[in-house]
């Protein structure tokens, strides 16, 4: 096999081929909405150019004797009109071999990525470059600034690095930290392939002020409100001693030196039992603050990153046939994956673009897929002084979302809320997104 056109999956990606299904697509979605309607011909050309800058996206998934691996493809993906619910499974056969799709609808372009090739940070880099070349090819006078990867700078080896291997230290004892099962949200499941999105837009200044008044970060504050929304709902239906836990992705690039565009994320699961549902928010926030900040250090994280790498290096597992590895990985994910948390809250942070680009863009959005055990998630991105939050759900009930919105409203935040369900308009604004 030619080593120049293939490479192995990075450490955390190896789980995804084992668990992928229509009920667990492991897909995230990043969207950019312009002020003007998109020209699909120009967007297709921009996509072709962007692919040159991101060779890691020109890969398809191949099945080997012992592991899945990536193989480079010499072709471009096709821009598609948006026609399905967000974050559906990315089937390489339906996507001409690709592990992501790019769709458009009126003023909005969407990037939907199978998590096997990158995380939200890597996906955002790709989308920013796509937006840059679209505006440039549209004849706009724009500059990339310092936040866009363009063809002026060739892809580096570090962008394709498996950073988990770089920071693996076999001398440090492994610590999985969390092995306790979480309480799960039931609800009435929608048909396979259906989902609902609720979008919340609010100014960041009041939200930051609210967080600071509680002496926590914005992520810690929203995690607390999300957690307590679940506690309020679930205390009415269960007396289980299992905790409600929110999974919070930690971008490891901020703690370890890395410029990788592949997955490099750790997930911290933090929560409380339903019995604490009537305790004050402030107590929950201090607990989240203590736990999350204790986790977000190099010293705490390296022992927790080690287990996956050490398993990967285990000679017995390495020698096992792929079919057996798939069974082991599937079972391990059931025990040490979705079973450990109730829902996830992913804050991708602030998107920064040069002013020459920003004036052409209305907003960005970030959404997550769901699974049978995790039917409701929350995600967020910040753009131009506005926080854009998205609830992704595959259950009919809206209880958690309604309580979360009510809690923010009671705290004094003014919001605009959109829903993809025409019969469920929330707040003072409604748009059919599906």
CATH code 3.30.559.10 for 196-346+382-419 = yes
Of 427 and 7, the structure prediction assigns the larger pLDDT to: 7
Helix then strand then coil, % of the chain, to nearest 5? 35, 25, 40
Say if CB 117 and CB 100 are below 8 A apart: yes
Q: Tokens in use for 434?
A: 């599906």
pLDDT bracket for residue 4 (50, 70, 90): low
DSSP state of 12: G
Q: Is 301 helix (H, G, I), strand (E, B) or coil?
A: helix
Q: What is the CATH number of domain 6-166?
A: 3.30.559.10
What are the two backbone dihedrals, phi and then psi, of residue 341, each rounded to the nearest 5 degrees? Answer: -150, 160
Contacting residues for 383 by C-beta, under 8 A, at least 6 apart: 350, 351, 361, 363, 364
* 139 burial via Cβ count (<10 Å: 0-12, 13-18, 19+): exposed
Mean pLDDT, rounded, for 19-23:
93
Is it the case that residue 197 has pLDDT exceeding 80? yes
pLDDT (tens digit per residue) in 56-91: 999 999 999 888 999 999 999 999 999 999 999 999
Position of tokens 């706009």? 140
Alpha helices per DSSP H over 90-143:
120-137
Question: What's the token pair of residue 30?
Answer: 């990043």
Residue 376 has pLDDT above 50, yes or no: yes
pLDDT of residue 65: 86
Q: Rounded to whole angstroms, how far apart are CA atoms 419 and 21?
A: 26
- The more confident residue out of 315 and 126 is 126
Answer for the pair 246, 146: CB distance below 8 angstroms, yes or no. Answer: no
CA distance linking residue 97 with residue 111, whole number of Å = 16
Average pLDDT over the chain reads: 92
- Residue 179: which pLDDT band, with cuts at 50, 70 and 90? confident
Q: Identify the pLDDT of residue 71.
A: 96
Average pLDDT of the residues in 104-121: 98
C-alpha dist (Å) from residue 279 to 158, 226, 358: 47, 14, 43
Q: In the prediction, which pLDDT does 237 show?
A: 86
Q: Are 376 and 397 in contact (CB under 8 A)?
A: no
Q: Do domains 6-166 and 196-346+382-419 have the same CATH topology?
A: yes
**Rounded (5°) CA angle 375-379-20:** 45
pLDDT of residue 433: 30
Looking at the whole model, is its pTM more than 0.85? yes
The full DSSP string for 140-169 is -----TTS---TTSPPPTGGG--HHHHT--
Tokens of 48: 């072709």
Q: Are 307 and 166 in contact (CB under 8 A)?
A: no
Domain ranges of the chain: 6-166, 196-346+382-419
Q: pLDDT tens, 218-234?
A: 999 999 999 999 999 99
pLDDT exceeds cutoff 50 at 428: no
- Report the distance separating Cα 263 and Cα 26, nearest Å: 13
Q: Residue 425: pLDDT band by 50, 70, 90 thresholds?
A: very low
Whether 32 and 108 have beta carbons less than 8 Å apart is answered as yes
The per-residue pLDDT for 3 is 55
Give the model confidence (pLDDT) of 227-259 as tens digits.
999 999 999 888 788 999 999 999 999 999 999
Burial of 197 from C-beta contacts in 10 A (0-12 / 13-18 / 19+): buried
Percent of the chain at pLDDT exceeding 70: 96
CA–CA separation, 395 and 393 (whole Å): 6
Q: What is the per-residue pLDDT across 297-346, written as a single tens digit (0 to 9) for each?
A: 999 999 998 888 887 777 777 778 888 888 888 887 777 789 999 999 99
User: ∠98-50-120 over CA atoms, to 5°?
Assistant: 65
């Amino acid at each position: 096999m030619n080593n120049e056109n293939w490479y192995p999956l990075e450490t955390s990606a190896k789980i995804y081929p084992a668990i992928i299904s229509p009920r667990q697509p492991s897909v995230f979605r990043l969207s950019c909405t312009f002020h003007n309607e998109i020209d699909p011909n120009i967007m297709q050309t921009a996509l072709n150019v962007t692919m040159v800058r991101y060779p890691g996206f020109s890969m398809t998934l191949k099945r080997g004797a012992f592991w899945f691996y990536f193989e480079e493809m010499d072709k471009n993906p096709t821009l598609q009109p948006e026609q399905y619910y967000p974050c559906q499974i990315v089937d390489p056969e339906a996507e001409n071999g690709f592990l992501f799709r790019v769709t458009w609808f009126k003023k909005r372009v969407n990037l939907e990525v199978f998590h096997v090739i990158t995380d939200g940070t890597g996906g955002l880099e790709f989308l920013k470059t796509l937006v840059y070349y679209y505006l440039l090819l549209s004849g706009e006078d724009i500059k990339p600034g310092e936040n866009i990867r363009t063809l002026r700078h060739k892809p580096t080896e570090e962008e394709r690095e498996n950073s988990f291997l770089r920071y693996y230290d076999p001398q440090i004892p492994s610590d999985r930290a969390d092995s306790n099962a979480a309480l799960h949200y039931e609800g009435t499941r929608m048909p396979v392939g259906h989902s609902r999105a609720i979008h919340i837009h609010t100014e960041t200044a009041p939200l930051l002020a609210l967080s600071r008044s509680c002496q926590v970060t914005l992520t810690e504050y929203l995690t607390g409100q999300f957690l307590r929304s679940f506690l309020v709902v679930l205390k009415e239906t269960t007396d289980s001693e299992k905790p409600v836990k929110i999974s919070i992705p930690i971008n490891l690039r901020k703690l370890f030196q890395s410029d990788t565009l592949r997955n490099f994320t750790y997930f911290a699961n933090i929560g409380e039992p339903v019995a604490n549902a009537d305790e004050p928010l402030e107590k929950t926030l201090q607990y989240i603050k203590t736990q999350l900040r204790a986790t977000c250090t190099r010293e705490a994280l390296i022992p927790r990153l080690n287990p996956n790498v050490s398993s990967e290096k285990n000679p017995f597992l390495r020698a096992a046939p792929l079919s057996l590895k798939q069974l082991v990985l599937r079972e391990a994910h059931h025990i040490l994956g979705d079973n450990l948390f109730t829902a996830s809250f992913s804050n991708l942070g602030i998107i920064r673009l040069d002013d020459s680009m920003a004036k052409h863009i209305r907003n960005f959005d970030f959404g997550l897929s769901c699974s049978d055990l995790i039917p409701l998630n929350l995600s967020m991105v910040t753009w131009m002084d506005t926080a854009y939050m998205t609830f992704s759900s595959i259950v009919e009930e809206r209880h958690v979302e309604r309580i979360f919105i009510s809690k923010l409203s009671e705290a004094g935040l003014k919001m605009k809320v959109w829903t993809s369900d025409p019969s469920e308009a929330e707040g003072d604004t409604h748009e059919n997104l599906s």
